[in-house]
Amino acid sequence: MKKYTISFLTITLTVLMIATLGTQSAVAQEDPTFSVSGTVDAYYRSSEFAPGTSFANLNGFALGMANIVLSYEGEKSGFVADLVYGPRGADAVFGSQTTLFKGTPEETVISGQSSIVNQLYVYYNVSDNFTLTLGNFNTFLGYEVISPVGNFNYSTSYMFSNGPFSHTGIKADIALSEDVSLMLGVLNTTDETEYQPADDDYMFGAQLGLYGQYINLLTGQGATQLDFTGGIDLSDSFFVGVNATTYEDDNSEWSGLALYPQISVSDSFALGLRGETFDIKDSNTFTSLTLTGSYTSNNFTLKPEIRIDSADEAVAAWSADGTDSLSSFVLAAIYSF
């Protein structure tokens, strides 16, 4: 199995290189641009207990993260260095720690030298329709993302929290037509962002985009996740998003479904609801309703949020004695630049 994996990777990289050399075409020359962008967020949680999904779990007045994105876009190539600081950032890059062995177990050191790196990649535009990317990039699976400005709801879903956050590897993004796209990638072990563990096989990812709807696949090492992400504009002010996913490996199996109806009340205020069901086979089933308001003024966004979670069986982390339901309120402030 190991020999097959290495051979497959070698063949894949060779094909990508041949494609790079054979499909180059002229790209309209533009002046290179360097940009700095990012976000800062903080929040207040009214309850000591939280659902336990990723981020926004701290009590009282709490910090999110400072996110600084440095990017350079040249004529045919560029890079992105996405850096994060603070509790949300630390949760997002939990896999970015290198283990340095120095002879004996007592001398082993966890360096954490990439503990602020959310994304770090370079890309090359082979043609107008074909881009190669090498490095660490956020996952292509799921409806939600790490950055708080990329989600309508401030808290995150069970599906997002249990899925991968980031991948390190090489991927090819191909625009097959104006409305159809394909992504293929060879990836390290999920969330191993600095390097590939020596005894692990590589993961393989694929995404097919069809008219704004996306079918995603991540497989390898005895695990497979199949994911659908999409949505539809029912009117100029009413949008409904959807995410459905299923995951299975040798030790666990889970699946989930979420709907994201969102309505724009005015130019500055919108309401969004996330309704999710998440089932862990032979364990527990969670249901969550999250109602979020979003008030925006220039670069500033204020998000009040009410969330109600329930489970088939009592959850120890939801109260001092364990309970099967939890209500929580969060008020988040986000600034983007």
Residue 237 is assigned to a structural domain of this protein = yes
Span of 17-21, 172-176, 230-234, 321-325 with lowest mean pLDDT: 17-21
The count of structural domains within the chain is 1
Give the residue among 277, 256, 133 at the shortest CA–CA distance from 205: 133
* DSSP characters over 196-263: --TTPPPEEEEEEEETTEEEEEEEETTEEEEEEEEEEESSSSEEEEEEEEEEE-SS-EEEEEEEEEEE
pLDDT (0 to 100) of residue 26: 43
| pLDDT computed for residue 32 by the predictor | 84
Q: Which of 49-53, 97-101, 170-174 has the lowest mean pLDDT?
A: 97-101
Instruction: Say what the pTM is.
Output: 0.86
- Whether 7 is covered by a domain: the verdict is no
The answer as to whether 19 is a domain residue is no
Q: What is the CATH number of the domain that holds 153?
A: 2.40.160.10
Average per-residue pLDDT for the chain: 89
Residue 175 confidence (pLDDT) above 70? yes
Nearest to 147 by CA among 306, 278, 41, 292: 41
What CA–CA distance (Å, rounded) separates 186 from 203? 6
Task: Kindly state the helix (H) or strand (E) to which residue 2 belongs, with its residue range.
Answer: helix 2-22
Q: For the segment 316-330, what is each residue's pLDDT rounded down to a tens digit?
A: 999 999 999 999 999
| Distance of alpha carbon 245 from alpha carbon 227, whole angstroms | 4
Q: Is the dihedral of CA 69, 77, 203, 227 positive or negative?
A: positive
Task: Confirm whether 194 is domain-assigned.
Answer: yes
Q: Could you report the per-residue pLDDT of 247-286, keeping only the tens digit for each?
A: 999 999 999 999 999 999 999 999 999 999 999 999 999 9
Please check whether residue 28 lies inside any domain of the structure: no
Domain range for residue 150?
A: 33-336
Q: What is the percentage of the chain residues whose pLDDT exceeds 70?
A: 85
Q: Are 82 and 69 in contact (CB under 8 A)?
A: yes
Residue 121 maps to a domain: yes
Q: What is the pLDDT of residues 202-216, one digit of tens each?
A: 999 999 999 999 999
In a domain, 246, yes or no: yes
Residue 15 lies in a domain: no
